[in-house]
Amino acid sequence: MKPEELVDLKGGRVHMDAYRNPEVFAEEMRRIFHKVWIYVGHESEIPSTGDYKTSYLGQVPVIVSRDEDMGINVLVNRCAHRGTTVCQRDSGNASYFKCEYHAWVYNNKGALTGVALRRGYADSELPKDIGLQRIPKVDTYQGLIFASLNPDVESLVDYLGHARSYLDDWVRQTPSGQVDLRGGDWKLTYRGNWKLQAENSTEGYHPDFLHQAAVQVQVYNSNRRRAAAGVQGQARPQRTATLDGLGRDLGRGHNLLEVPQVQLLARRRYSQEFIDELSDSYGEDQLGNVLGPPWRLLIFPNLAIAGSNLRVINPLSVDETDVRQYFVDLPTAPDAVRAFRREQEQGFYGPSGYGGPDDVEMFERMQEGFKSGAASTLDPWVLFTRQMEDEKVLPDGQRVGGHTSEIMQRAVYRGWVRQMSEEA
Ligand code: FES
Ligand code: FE
C-alpha cells in the first residue's frame, strides 16, 4: 500500500499500518519531518549570547544556539570527524562545543575552530569548510523557533496560515507579551507511535471519561479550599460535553479545540485591575481571545499548546516517542494568575499530575491493540468518523465542527496525506 492509501479521508478511517509499519515511519521522517517546519524551541530559552538547548528534527539531533551576534543557529549535533554528538545537555551556555572523542572544537555558529594534534594531518586530509552542519532554514513566529531541512520550504508565515492569529493571541495574555518557558520542563517516553500524542493533544471527546478521576480530585480540592475560606456551597464536576465549543481544522494538519468556558475559570483569578489593563492594551472586544486563552492548538506535526502547557513531540521509532513538556509562565501576570497556572500544570500535566498519565496509558494500550494488524484477515482500520457529517467548510478554507467531534483528528490526517502523497 502507498502511504497515502493508509488514510481514507472520505470514510474517516486510518489503517493501523500508519502506526506500526517501520517503512511508513521512515517515509514520515522523509516526507514530513525533513520537509516542513519543525518546532525546535522558544526564544525565552536562549535569551543571552552563548545560550543553547538541544532538540530534534524528527530523529536528527540538533543544537539551537544564540551566537555572539544574537543570531539563532540550528546545528546538527554530530561531530564532523566520526559522528559523535558534541553536546549532551538539554540546555546551557557555551561559546564552544568540544567533541569528547578526539577533542575537535566548534564555535556556537558551527565552525570548526580546533583540531587536536593538527600537525599530524596533511592539508589534503582535512576537507575544507567542515563544521557542524547548519539546518538551512530557521525562522521564528511570536518567539517560537522553527527549523526546516528543506531549503525550498514555503515561508513560515504561510505554513502557519490560519494558526497564526491564535499564536498572536497566545502572546497577548499580558500587556507586556512576555512568555517564558524556563519555569520547569520534563520529558516522558511512551511505547507508541508519535501520531497518538498529536491526535490526542486537541481531542475533546475523551476527557469526560478518561480523566474522570482527575476531575474528581480537582473538585475535591476546590471544595476543601471553599470550605477553608468559609464559602457556601459545593463545586460540582462539569462535563466537557455539556459546554459550548468548537473544533477547527486550520489546514496543513494544524487544528484547534476551543472551549470558551475555560476563560471563566481563568477570569476568577484575574483582578479587575489586570483585566482593565488588558482591555486598554488590546481592546475590550479582544478580551475573549486573550484571557485564558480558551483553546488547545496543534501545530502539525510536533508542537501542542494548551493553557499552561507546551509540549514537543519527538518520534524515536515507529512505536516509541519522546514528549518534552514545558510550563508556560507569564512573568508579568499577577501572582495569583501565575500561581493558578502553575497549579494547573503540576496538578494535571506534570510528573505527579493526575491527568497527563491517563493519556499516555491509552497510547500504550492503542499500540498494543494495533498488534492485531499482524493478521491480514482482521479489520485493519481505526475510526475518526465522529460528527463528520456536521463538518462545515468556511469561505477561507477552514473547517469547523463540534468540540467533541473528531474534526481535529481528521485535520491531522488531512495534513498527513498532503505531505505523504507523491505530489507533495
Ligand atoms: Fe569527534 Fe573524533 S569523533 S573528534
Ligand atoms: Fe487527555
CA distance 72 to 50: 10
CB atoms within 10 A of CB 81: 17
Model pLDDT for residues 188-226, shown as the tens digit of each residue: 999 999 999 999 999 999 999 999 988 888 888 888 888
Cell of 155: 515561508
For the CA atoms of 157, 158, 159, 165, the dihedral, rounded to the nearest 10 degrees, stands at: 60
Tell me, what's the pLDDT at 164? 98
Tell me, what's the pLDDT at 217? 86
By the 8 A CB rule, do 332 and 178 touch? yes
Q: Which residue has the cell 518557558?
A: 181
Q: Is 357 exposed, middle or buried (0-12, 13-18, 19+ CB in 10 A)?
A: middle
Q: Which of 98, 104, 106 to mutate to test the pocket of ligand 1 (most atoms within 8 A of CB)?
A: 104
Dist. CA 123 → ligand 1 center (Å) = 18
Residue 135 C-alpha from the chain's centroid: 20
Dist. CA 164 → ligand 2 center (Å) = 24
* Ligand 1 pocket check for 79: Cβ under 6 Å: yes
Dist. CA 306 → ligand 2 center (Å) = 11
* Ligand 1 pocket check for 82: Cβ under 6 Å: yes
Ligand nearest to the CA of 363: 2
Model pLDDT for residues 58-91, shown as the tens digit of each residue: 999 999 999 999 999 999 999 999 999 999 999 9
Residue 268 has pLDDT above 80, yes or no: no
Model pLDDT for residues 139-168, shown as the tens digit of each residue: 999 999 999 999 999 999 999 999 999 999
CA distance 314 to 195: 10
Residue 424 has pLDDT above 70, yes or no: no
Residue 298 in 3-state DSSP?
Answer: strand
Dist. CA 80 → ligand 1 center (Å) = 7
Q: Are strands 303-306 and 309-317 parallel, antiparallel or unpaired?
A: antiparallel
Residue 398 in 3-state DSSP?
Answer: coil
Q: Which atom of ligand 1 is nearest to the CA of 104?
A: 4
* Ligand 1 pocket check for 84: Cβ under 6 Å: yes
Dist. CA 103 → ligand 1 center (Å) = 6
What lies within 8 Å, CB to CB, of 377 at 6+ separation is: none
What lies within 8 Å, CB to CB, of 163 at 6+ separation is: 250, 254, 256, 297, 299
pTM: 0.96
* Ligand 1 pocket check for 81: Cβ under 6 Å: yes
* Ligand 1 pocket check for 105: Cβ under 6 Å: no
For the chain, give the mean pLDDT.
94
Ligand nearest to the CA of 296: 2
**Which residue's CA is the closest to the ligand 1 atom numbered 3?**
82
CB atoms within 10 A of CB 84: 14
Sheet of 105-107, strands arranged across: 96-98, 105-107, 112-114
What lies within 8 Å, CB to CB, of 350 at 6+ separation is: 184, 186, 325, 356
Question: 94-125: b or e for each residue (b if 16 or more CB lie within 10 Å)?
Answer: eeebbbeeeebebbbbbebeebeeeeeeeeee
**Which residue's CA is the closest to the ligand 1 atom numbered 4?**
102
Q: H-helix or E-strand containing 137? A: strand 137-141
Tell me, what's the pLDDT at 423? 65
Q: CA of 288: how far to CAs of 23, 30, 143, 174, 338, in Å?
A: 45, 40, 22, 13, 19
What lies within 8 Å, CB to CB, of 332 at 6+ separation is: 174, 175, 176, 178
* Nearest residue to 201 via CA among 291, 313, 294: 313
% of residues, the chain, pLDDT over 70? 99
Q: H-helix or E-strand containing 280? A: helix 272-282
Ligand nearest to the CA of 126: 1
CB atoms within 10 A of CB 226: 14
Tell me the backbone φ, ψ of residue 210, rounded to 5 degrees.
-65, -40
CA distance 207 to 14: 22
pLDDT band with cut points at 50, 70 and 90 for residue 4: confident
Question: Pick the residue with more confidence: 241 or 331?
Answer: 331
Q: Which atom of ligand 1 is nearest to the CA of 116?
A: 4
By the 8 A CB rule, do 250 and 411 touch? yes
Dist. CA 211 → ligand 2 center (Å) = 7
